[in-house]
Structures are given as structure tokens and as C-alpha cells.
Amino acid sequence: MSRRFIVTAAVLCAASVLAACGTMGTGSRATANLAPTGAISPNPTMGKVTFQALEHGVRVEGEVRGFAPGTEHGFHIHEKGDCGDNGNASGGHFNPGGGTHGKFAAPGSHAGELPSLVADSGGVARFSVDVHSISLIEGANNNVVGRALVVHRDRDDFTTQPAGNSGPRIACAVITRG
């Protein structure tokens, strides 16, 4: 074999490996089917949220319904994948980096912080947001698969530690692959 052929083959192989690394995690999906908890009664809150891996983060989008029109609700990823005890078994907000509670995407905020849900005139909150602090990559410390997604009754004040004083957990789901 000629030296030129070997060099060309090595370059092509390296380029293929680098191209594969650049797309790791993209194409991966997860879902969360929010169900009402018993924290309030009656409780019609439910919804579906999808998680789509991006090159640098995850697109979180969906719809949650059953709210009073025009209301605002705290919305967070929690550390444990357990919706028992009216969502309280999900633990605190997902915080692998040891940040503080604050507004979504603010410097130093924890990874579980999501934008508040705001209900339209029909009591439905629709959203799509790219979150750069989380992933769907198995084994990564910021992987959200297997964790709980929680909707709170009240608006998040973005300052009270550690959870924003957003009230009881009114809907919960475990984030699952697929």
C-alpha cells in the first residue's frame, strides 16, 4: 500500500469520528405525560411535554391544560423520578451544578429551572424553550431522563431559596426515553 493511500484513509477515518462526536445526543427524545396530583381538589391539570436533544442542550416543548385563565405557575425538573406523595417524593429541584434558585437561564441558576407556565384565556399553557443546562445523554450528570417534571400551583418568585415559593405540586410526570 502506498503511503498516500494510508494517509488519506486515516484522514477520512478521523473526519468520520469527529463528525459522529459532533452529533452525539442529537436525535434523542424523551417525554413526560403530566398527571394531576392530589395536592388540590378538584385538579384538572394535565399535559404532555417532549424533550428533543440538540447539539448543545435540549428543546423542551409541550402543552399543559387545566389552569385558570391568565394564571402563572412554577415549572421545574426535580431531582428524583418519583411522583408519589402528591409530587413531594420528587425531591428538590434538579441541581447537579450546585446553583441557586433563580430565573430560567440566569447565571448561577440550577439546571432544573424552566420558564414559568402562563395560561392563556382557555387555561392552556403552550411553550417551546431550548435549555442549555440539561441533556438526554445517558451517564451525563445533567441527564434529565428518569427525573420528575413538576408543575406548581403558584407563580415562582425567582428569589426564595431553594424553590421559589411556588406552592404545592399540582401535576407531575417522570421523564422517560422515547
pLDDT tens-place string over residues 25-64: 456 999 999 999 999 999 999 999 999 999 989 999 999 9
Return the bridge partners of 117, or none.
73
Instruction: State the pLDDT confidence band at 163, using cuts at 50, 70 and 90.
Output: low
Whether 74 contacts 90, CB under 8 Å: no
Residue 62's DSSP bridge partners are 49, 127
d(CA 2, CA 5): 5
pLDDT band at 160 (very low <50, low <70, confident <90, very high): low
What pLDDT score does 37 carry? Answer: 96
Measured distance CA(146)–CA(174) in Å, rounded: 6
pTM over 0.85: no
pLDDT single digits (tens) 106-149: 777 788 889 999 999 999 999 999 999 999 999 999 999 999 99
Residue with the bigger pLDDT between 47 and 93: it is 47
Work out the percent of the chain whose per-residue pLDDT is above 70. Answer: 81
pLDDT of residue 26: 53
Distances (CA, A) of 119 to 63, 75, 145: 10, 12, 26
Assess if CATH 2.60.40.200 describes domain 25-177. Answer: yes
Task: Please provide residue 37's backbone torsions phi and psi, each rounded to the nearest 5 degrees.
Answer: -95, 175
| Residue 69: predicted pLDDT | 97
For the chain, the average pLDDT equals 84
Q: Are strands 57-65 and 124-131 parallel, antiparallel or unpaired?
A: antiparallel
Q: Where are the domains of the chain?
A: 25-177
| Contact predicate 163/93, CB 8 Å | yes
Identify the pLDDT of residue 106.
77
* Residue for grid cell 442529537: 26
What pLDDT is stored for residue 2 in this prediction? 54
DSSP 28: -
Does residue 35 come out as left (phi exceeding 0), alpha (psi in the -120 to 50 range) or beta? Answer: beta
- Tell whether the model's pLDDT for residue 22 goes beyond 50: no
Neighbours of 72 (CB within 10 A): 16
